[in-house]
Each structure stands twice: as structure tokens, then as C-alpha cells.
Amino acid sequence: MQITVLVLILALLTVIGFQMGRTRAAASVGGRVVELHSVPSYHGFYVALWAGLPALFLFVLWTASEGWLIMQMVLASLPARLTSGDPQALNLLKADILNIAHGISTGRESDPDVVAAAQHYGTLRDIGDWSLLAVGSCLAVVGLAYGHRRIGPDLRARNRVERVVSVALIVCSLVAILTTVGIVLSLLFEALRFFAVVSPLEFLFGTHWSPQMAMRADQVGSSGSFGAIPLFAGTLLITVIAMVVAVPIGLMSAIYMSEYANPAVRTWLKPILEILAGIPTVVYGFFAALTMAPFVRVIGQDLGLDVSSESALSAGIVMGVMIIPFVSSLSDDVINAVPQSLRDGSYGLGATKSETIRQVVVPAALPGIVAAIMLAVSRAIGETMIVTMAAGLTANLTANPLEAVTTVTTQIATLLVGDQEFDSPKTLSAFGLGLVLFLVTLSLNMVALRVVQKYREKYD
């Protein structure tokens, strides 16, 4: 309640601050706005920032620390017999107090001291909320007054406001860096523990993947080898099949849509193809396992081939289908970006449409197309659900698309939700694989960027 009120008050004061700042700025030069350093609305923003920001910081600080602070105060007031336990007991005590304070019945008679503490907690929280309301509003008013007082013809309000805004913008773009750092750290930490048990060389160059560790100390008969080459090979095989499906179909669709189809057809076709990209991968997984795999198997048997029921081929084909719109959409964009003048130039020399496309348009769009394919490749490498469902888990070092293979992502998903002991290298290897996966997609993307930068033709 108090928090809602505070938010409302802050919003109101910000708006008022804006108006006051604007008015005062205009008034300070007697309405001759040109004499101001910045236009009046910047003065308004300046005051509004002073009114809103400090109070907002207080608000964030308080909401983040409130629970902890009050809990410390409540615990301090409790008799030692309750609080002297180990940290675990203390955790339970806190939970108990919170539950009672929130009116959650635990179905049990609680210690009267705990009940009293819970009431105490409730009271303190109320006090806290009210004082937050009071302090927050005061801070906003003080800020408003301060900002308001500083307004004058010489105040560089625009520069101040723009600096605040640009700091905010910079912070936003740093989120990307933080995310990358977070990913690397969260993978690296666990991966290092894995590499402490299994040597990175064995992991990267070993050709036998059988992540079995003993379930019991006295159990033997589980090999436990962590050579990830079969996984990389499996991933590569499926990715290649997917690309063999997706690149020609996607590229030709893009070409047809942007060069041949009339606009009405194109308006319909493009979104229809994009639906393929929007279908959740779980759905593709089922399609691959239940429709495509038996189909491929039957066809294979008719041809006298020995097809595994979880062939890399079926997973790859379905993944390719998923990636078609990815290739076609991106290629379509780059093909459209090729200027009409190039096509005209080619037609003007008497080239047919397909000659123009093959010899002028596609080469001109090639860097973009290559980048699109690279992105599609990293998408295929990182795809999880389809391969988990359709490609099986047999770590098979083979180039035969009719056999079952497994991929890096499949192993990550199954290793992490497995029934293993959680500190075993088997579980940790998932992070090792994750790290490799991250690095591979990273370098692929780097290459794609380089390609684009190096070969991009400048058309204006």
C-alpha cells in the first residue's frame, strides 16, 4: 500500500518538477526563452530528475534491504535459546517468522516467542514502509526544491540532462558485456572442476565418449571415458545435413520470393515460411522422431539400406526444415538490399533473369548470404530439442548419416537432468561441453562478422 502511494507520489512530483522547472526557467528570463542556455523543457527534465532519481535510489535500496534489516532487528530481540542454533536452524526460524507474519498456517502450534517475533516483524515492516513513504517523499521534495533553486539562465540544463541520459544508455549497452561475462564465468567455474578430473586433451581429442561413472563405490564395469570427438562429429554431421537441406531450399525460396514472385504472393509467402521458424523446437522434435524417422527408415529399407531408427538423417532433415526460414528470411533481406541499378545494368546487356541473379545479384549479396548461413550454422549447432528427441544418445563416431549419432547439446541436456551424483565428472562434463559450444558459436560468429566486413560492397 505504502509503496504504491510512494510510487504515485514520486510520479506526481516528477511531473510537477517538470512543470515547475519549465515555468521557472521561462520566468527567470522574463519569457525571452532565447536567453536561456537550454530550452525550458530541459530545465523541466532537470528538476524532474532531481525530484525522481534520489528518491528512486532510496526506494531501490530500501526494498532490497528491508527484509534483511528488519529480520536482523527481530532476531536481535529474540531470546538466545532460539537464535543460538547453527545457520540452518536460523534459516528455519526466519522462515517460520516470515510465514507467521504473512499469515501462512503451518498447521502446528508455534513457540509463543516466535509468534511475538512475527508480530514484531509485522510492526517493524509497517513502520519501515511508512517511514520509507515519509523519507522518500521528503527526499523527492528536497530534490525538487534543490533543482528548482538552481534554475537560471546560465544553468546548463541540457548538458546535465543529456549526461544522465547518456550514462543510462551506456549502462544499458553494458548489459550485453555483463551477460557474456556471466556466461563465461558460470561455464568456466564448473568446467574447470571437470578439467581437474579429466584432462582437457583427452576431452577434446579423445574418440570415445561413454560418460559412465560408478553409481556405487563398490561398483565396477563402467568405463567412463570423456573423449568428446564423437559428439563434435555427430553435431557436425547433423549440422551438415541440416545445411544441405536448408541452404538450397532457403536460398532458392529467397531468390524466388524477391526476384520472381509478385508482391501479392510475396506478402503471403514470406510470413507463411516464417511460421516454420516460429514453431517451437519441441514440436519439431516430435515430428522428427515420429514422422520423419520412420519415413526415412522405410525408404532406406526399400532401397536395401540399413537405417537406424534414430538416424542422423531424419534429425538433420527436420532441423534443416526449421532453419529454412532463417536462411531465406536473412537472404531475402540482403538480396533486396542489392540495388536495382545492378539488375538493370545486367538486363541492359541482354542477360536473362536467372543469369542476372546468378552472376550479379547473388555475388553482390554473397557476404550477407554467407553471414546468414553462418548464423544458421550456429543455430543448428546449438539446437537442443530436436536432436534430443530424434537423434538418440549413442556416441557414434561415424560419417554415415543413416546411423544414430549424438550431439553436444543433447548430452548437456541429458547429463544435467540425469540421475547421477552431482559432483561426478559426468555431470560436470556438461559444463565442459557448454564451454566448447559457446566458444565454437562465438568463433563462427566472429568469422561471419569478418566475412561481412571484409567483403561488404558499399551501396548507397
Binding to other proteins (CB under 8 A) within 133-192 occurs at 158, 161-163, 165-170, 172-177, 179-180, 182-183, 185-187, 189-190
At its nearest, how many Å lie between other proteins and the CB of residue 437?
Answer: 6
At its nearest, how many Å lie between other proteins and the CB of residue 319?
Answer: 12
Q: Which of 293, 290, 249 is nearest to 273 (CA)?
A: 249
Find the binder of other proteins among 123, 130, 222, 305 (CB under 8 A): 222
Interacting residues with other proteins between 250 and 269 (CB under 8 A): 250-253, 255-257, 259-260, 262-263, 267, 269
Lay out the site mask for other proteins across 62-101 (x = CB under 8 A, - = otherwise): --xxxxx--x--------------xxxx-xx-xxx-xx-x
At its nearest, how many Å lie between other proteins and the CB of residue 46?
Answer: 13
Question: What is the spatial distance between Cα 36 and Cα 157, in angstroms, rounded to a whole number?
Answer: 10
CB atoms inside a 10 Å sphere around CB 22:
21
E-only strand ranges, 93-213 = 209-210
**By CB under 8 A, residue 7 contacts other proteins:** no
Under DSSP, is residue 406 helix (H, G, I), strand (E, B) or coil?
coil
At its nearest, how many Å lie between other proteins and the CB of residue 8?
Answer: 19
Q: How far is CA 397 from CA 227, 235, 306, in A?
A: 11, 11, 17
Lay out the site mask for other proteins across 327-346 (x = CB under 8 A, - = otherwise): -x----------x-xxxxxx
- Closest CB to other proteins among 4 and 88? 88
Interacting residues with other proteins between 362 and 391 (CB under 8 A): 363-364, 375, 378-379, 381-385, 388-389
Find the binder of other proteins among 249, 319, 330, 428 (CB under 8 A): 249
**By CB under 8 A, residue 212 contacts other proteins:** yes
Question: What is the spatial distance between Cα 201 and Cα 205, in angstroms, rounded to a whole number?
Answer: 6
At its nearest, how many Å lie between other proteins and the CB of residue 458?
Answer: 8
- Closest CB to other proteins among 26 and 209? 209
Find the binder of other proteins among 27, 113, 299, 358 (CB under 8 A): 358
Cα-trace Rg, the chain: 32
Find the binder of other proteins among 83, 119, 137, 394 (CB under 8 A): 394
Cell numbers at residue 158, please? 541540457
Find the binder of other proteins among 35, 113, 126, 421 (CB under 8 A): 421
**By CB under 8 A, residue 350 contacts other proteins:** yes
- Helices 229-255, 362-382: inter-axial angle, 10-degree rounding: 140
Interacting residues with other proteins between 267 and 296 (CB under 8 A): 267, 269-276, 278-284, 286-287, 289-291, 293-294
Residue type, 149: R
- The angle at the Cα of 252, spanning 248 to 256, to the nearest 5 degrees, equals 175
Torsion of Cα atoms, 200 then 203 then 205 then 207, to 10°:
160
**By CB under 8 A, residue 221 contacts other proteins:** yes
Q: How far is CA 274 from CA 16, 269, 278, 279, 322, in A?
A: 47, 9, 6, 9, 10
Find the binder of other proteins among 107, 303, 304, 454 (CB under 8 A): 107
Q: Which of 143, 89, 95, 136 is nearest to 117 (CA)?
A: 95
Q: How many chain residues bind other proteins (CB under 8 A)? A: 176
Residue type, 210: S
Question: What is the spatial distance between Cα 163 and Cα 240, in angstroms, rounded to a whole number?
Answer: 50
- Closest CB to other proteins among 116 and 342? 342
At its nearest, how many Å lie between other proteins and the CB of residue 348?
Answer: 3
- Closest CB to other proteins among 32 and 358? 358
Region of residue 279 (left: phi > 0; alpha: psi -120 to 50; beta: else): beta
Interacting residues with other proteins between 16 and 55 (CB under 8 A): none
**By CB under 8 A, residue 207 contacts other proteins:** no
Cα dihedral sign, 295-300-301-303: positive
In the structure, how many helices (H) and strands (E) does the chain have?
18, 2
- Closest CB to other proteins among 4 and 173? 173
Lay out the site mask for other proteins across 295-324 (x = CB under 8 A, - = otherwise): --x----------xxx----------x--x
Q: Which of 203, 56, 38 is nearest to 135 (CA)?
A: 56
